[in-house]
Structure 1
């Protein structure tokens, strides 16, 4: 197990407020998964299985609780074998998202879904991600560039802007490039509770009880102000129910 995963697991076990925020992520995901087989990519410390049954847990690096070690750009699954592909904080680490989406298109059954929770670069979150987060935000990047993945690349290399670019500026290009896949839903959520917890860092500026109240309040107002202020997004891509192959 890598030092990073060990650190994340330690934070998870010692920060109830962190578990509370991620439970909100997992509940959102579980609420829109199709019945059937779910492949989780980038399972990390492996908590999604507590919320969703029939999950195949995978990551690019070994951990004893994983079912499979693999790269998101080369999925070791047969065609049309999965009903859902789920990812939390993974897409913005993928070197060539086009390679992943091509593989997801192959592996998903007709009507299957890719469900991703990722950073949202908005008016309200931009300064936080640019100044207080270690991963870069490059809004000029092309998320649909095609290339050959580098097996020696650092799996934690990232561009936090990638999911937002796909959901906004490059949405129609995505649809043209992957005609069987459609961005079906984008939820802009997570206002104050997430940044105030400090994520997987050892500090938190909010108690578990206060975070619980904040999350309840955020649910009511995120449809109104989420697009402008959200720190997170849930991006749902659905495969056509009728395919040519």
Structure 2
């Protein structure tokens, strides 16, 4: 992003002040109504106080601006895998609170947070934040490629030359996407 669009502020957005170079998503040092769009990949579930993040979205986003989040999905395969893959992060779809106890920048996260807020507790979200609207949710169909490439933390398992084959297999498995998907996209727009 930094290289393709130099006018875009590209940084690690976290919910902790432990990283000096990061933009704290729960207390952004940005002007009111100054941002057109935020994009976050695998970061939202690390925010220990998501209410603070939503308050910051209402404050910093221009009307009509939005946020695109790519987060762990809540299907059967994702729930099975995420509970076992990352020892420092949980996956608890039944956690009673939106807030997750955090013990550092990558610890204490609940990878089911996007499910909890945007699916299970959607009415509560809409009631608390009437100026923010969930305008789109979509399941990502790249689960095989994500696993084979190693995701963000592991080594690549197959050469890049096999990506076209994996895309074909993913298209054939499309009817099973709600079972096999590992990520989903949530788009939120500031309406007022």
- TM-score by shorter chain over 0.5: yes
Name which of structure 1's ranges 204-213 and 188-197 shifts more when overlaid on structure 2.
Answer: 204-213
Match of 2:158 in 1: 206
Distance 1:83 1:142 in 2: 32
Match of 2:130 in 1: 179
TM-score (norm 1): 0.67
Equivalent residue for 1:83, pick from 17, 36, 47: 36
Alpha-carbon deviations, 1:188-236, whole Å to 9, x = none?
Answer: 11221112222234533222121343246536864x4333321011111
Match of 1:41 in 2: none
Distance 1:106 1:221 in 2: 41
What are the equivalent positions in structure 2 for 1:156-167 lying under 5 Å apart? 156-157=106-107, 158-167=109-118
Question: Bigger relative contact order, structure 1 or 2, given CA contacts below 8 A and separation 6+?
Answer: 2
Match of 1:141 in 2: 95
Match of 1:218 in 2: 170
Distance 1:143 1:55 in 2: 34
- 1:168 matched to 2:119: yes
- 1:191 matched to 2:143: yes
| 1:114–1:237 CA contact under 8 A, matched in 2 | yes
Instruction: Indicate how the Cα distance of structure 1 residues 181 and 202 shifts in structure 2: closer, same or farther if over 3 A, else same.
Output: closer
- SS of 1:124's equivalent? helix
Unpaired stretches in structure 2, ≥5 consecutive residues: none
Distance 1:183 1:220 in 2: 29
Match of 1:117 in 2: 70
The number of equivalent residue pairs is: 184
Distance 1:186 1:220 in 2: 22
Match of 1:154 in 2: 104
RMSD over aligned Cα atoms: 2.5
Match of 1:102 in 2: 55
TM-score (norm 2): 0.83
Alpha-carbon deviations, 1:120-155, whole Å to 9, x = none?
Answer: 12112221111223321111224545x9x98xx411
Distance 1:118 1:51 in 2: 23
Alpha-carbon deviations, 1:10-58, whole Å to 9, x = none?
Answer: xxxxxxxxxxxxxxxxxxxxxxxxxxxxxxxxxxxxxx32454531123
| 2:71–2:184 CA contact under 8 A, matched in 1 | yes
What are the equivalent positions in structure 2 for 1:233-244 lying under 5 Å apart? 233-240=184-191, 243=192
Name which of structure 1's ranges 136-145 and 229-238 shifts more when overlaid on structure 2.
Answer: 136-145
Instruction: Indicate how the Cα distance of structure 1 residues 58 and 203 shifts in structure 2: closer, same or farther if over 3 A, else same.
Output: closer
Instruction: Indicate how the Cα distance of structure 1 residues 50 and 188 shifts in structure 2: closer, same or farther if over 3 A, else same.
Output: farther
